[in-house]
Amino acid sequence: MALTVRAWRLRLEAADAVRRGDYTVAAEVAVAAERIVRTPRGAALRALAKCLAASHSSSPAAPLHTHDRGTADDASAIGGLRSE
């Protein structure tokens, strides 16, 4: 159970990194979470973060949101991470 919680927390961290526009960190953290426990939502987050990191690798990333943390609606848009 501790591993499941660790993976869930890493996914939350990855989703926060996506919202901040830190796509490389988001991809790295999402990959780490999937190494611990694989889930369909985790795989979707990993794919999104890797895609964003690749598409923004040559230019500075702009955050998706201007506030520090997203809302529950933001999390559900990124695979419902808050409900895992």
> From first to last of its 84 residues, what are the pLDDT tens digits of the chain?
899 999 999 999 999 999 999 999 999 999 999 999 999 999 999 999 999 999 987 655 555 554 444 444 444 445 555 444
* Domain interval for residue 31: 1-56
Number of domains in the chain: 1
- Residue 38 CB-half CA count within 13 A: 3
Is residue 71 assigned to a domain? Answer: no
- CA-CA distance, 50 to 55, in Å (whole number)? 9
- Rounded Cα distance between 34 and 40, Å, is 10
Provide the whole-model pTM: 0.67
In-domain check, residue 62: no
Please report whether residue 81 resides in a domain: no
Residue 24 maps to a domain: yes
Position 21 in a domain: yes
Domain membership of residue 17 (yes or no) is yes
Residue 61 domain flag: no
- The span from the CA of 5 to the CA of 19, in Å, is 21
pLDDT given at position 57 = 78
Residue 46 inside a domain? The answer is yes
